[in-house]
Structure 1
């Protein structure tokens, strides 16, 4: 199964991403038009005030990312050929399978029990992946590979790329639109994670682990039973919880990735992983 991001992107990401882009471009056009009109009318105060706000926002964002990078370098553990090499090879294999030119720098950090992973772009063009210690402790290697694939998905799908992220940013002022777009992106990345893992069971249980979080119960998880819980979610209250959330329900994510994976005829072909399985 060759990777093609246009074929893998979830329809909801395509829909809400297009709406976010259209709304963002419109709002940016109105702002730029206001500044130009102010300059033409000689209203330098209004134009300068708008430019100062933009400059302050950019400087704050840049400084926050620079501080985050500095903290990461001093407090997290960078994965590499000589540091957790099996995780490094997972990232390399996944990046190669997805066609990423640059392999993201991967870091492990002490999450104090929180299961999570993140994809980031900070200062410069370098891409990053963060993996929490709790997630690595709870998941087996196949599930970790799915999680790594999910985070690589944010990079290969362009979710963190400029200028598109800036162009879409004003779309967040539309109620519920930003959350809907975020949910669509997560469903896309679940597909990419499954593509990298080439293991539906790992994808399903990897998602279920976010709800379970138990190392002891990991091998006993039944994703079929968990997926059936999606049918038990109350319609009205479930809908209101969904529209304010930036992440789909765990049960919905298991259901969605299962439905997609089963439509991929060559999904079971291995990626030729080079990492050694973790001892039992």
Structure 2
């Protein structure tokens, strides 16, 4: 006899008599629980639908409210930004170009946001004034912000309900890498990071080696541990070091790709 056969054989007469009633009660309990689950999910879906409708309704309003405080770039004004935006989107395969809005002075330099499905990149005027004549730096900062769109406002971004502060800091460096990927000029990419830290006038006074050493100090000890785990932006020196490491990785990748293309040409020849 199998284990199941033994168990069935050992079931008492009293249990056999009570089993049908217990089965019915449990069936009703499970049906009730299922109803509660579906009712709860239905309520959540209805609420989500209402929120989604309101987001769509007010999306364009919110975008225009920001734009009313500044101006959007176009072929007629800031054509350099328009060209850089188009180049970056083509390079990254982004079909829908985000609207780029220029605002006046702020503590921030640039940021990306999304209203429903409308993507927006905001460049603050003080930042733009220093880089408008530097195509590589323009491509970097636009590429960085579009990186946030590709990561923070994508399926991955919607899935990542929780992001720790250290994860957000790491995401900033990922977006730096995307910016440098479309910029291609490591010196211009590093210079832009320095500009964003202290402004255009003082950027030339910064020392790269000191900034990297400073970041090592900032992340040392208990205070450094707190900074590393509970601050959402990496130190300037850490961003510079990350860029240099990524640039080296890009160079190695392109060498490998070049060797592969050469091998293909030899085979064809």
Normalising by structure 2, report the TM-score.
Answer: 0.70
Corresponding residue pairs, total: 222
Cα deviations by residue, 1:130-189 (Å, 9 ceiling, x for unpaired): 10112113446243332112112223x33212x4433322xx2xxxx4323322221111
Alignment-derived partner of residue 160 in structure 1: 153
- From 210, 228, 231, give the equivalent of 1:225: 210
Q: Distance in 1 between matches of 2:48 and 2:139?
A: 40
SS at match of 1:128: strand
Match of 2:122, SS state, is: strand
Q: Determine the structure 2 residue equivalent to 1:40.
A: 35
Which residue is equivalent to 1:256? 242
Distance apart, 1:262 and its partner CA: 1.8
The answer on whether the counterparts of 1:94 and 1:148 sit within 8 Å (CA) in structure 2 is: yes
- How far off its partner does 1:261 sit? 0.8
1:43–1:144 CA distance, 2 compared to 1 (3 A)? closer
Q: Residue 149 in 1 paired to residue 140 in 2?
A: no
Distance 1:91 1:108 in 2: 13
Q: Which structure has more helix as a fraction of its residues?
A: 2
CA distance in 2, matches of 1:42, 1:117: 43
Q: How does 1:135-214 map to 2 (within 5 A)?
A: 135-139=127-131, 141=134, 142-155=136-149, 157-161=150-154, 163-169=155-161, 172=162, 177-213=163-199
Can you give the 5+ residue segments of structure 1 that lack an aligned partner in the other structure? 1-35, 269-280
Question: In the TM superposition, what is the alpha-carbon distance from 1:190 to its structure 2 partner?
Answer: 0.5
Report the aligned-residue RMSD.
Answer: 3.1
| Partner-residue secondary structure (3-state), 1:158 | helix
Higher-RCO chain (CA-CA 8 Å, sequence separation at least 6):
1
Q: Which moved more, 1:259-268 or 1:230-239?
A: 259-268
TM-score, normalised relative to structure 1: 0.67
Alpha-carbon distance in structure 1 between the residues aligned to 2:110 and 2:65: 17
Larger Rg: 2
Instruction: Measure, in 2, the Cα distance between the counterparts of 1:204 and 1:42.
Output: 53
| Unpaired stretches in structure 2, ≥5 consecutive residues | 1-30, 255-269
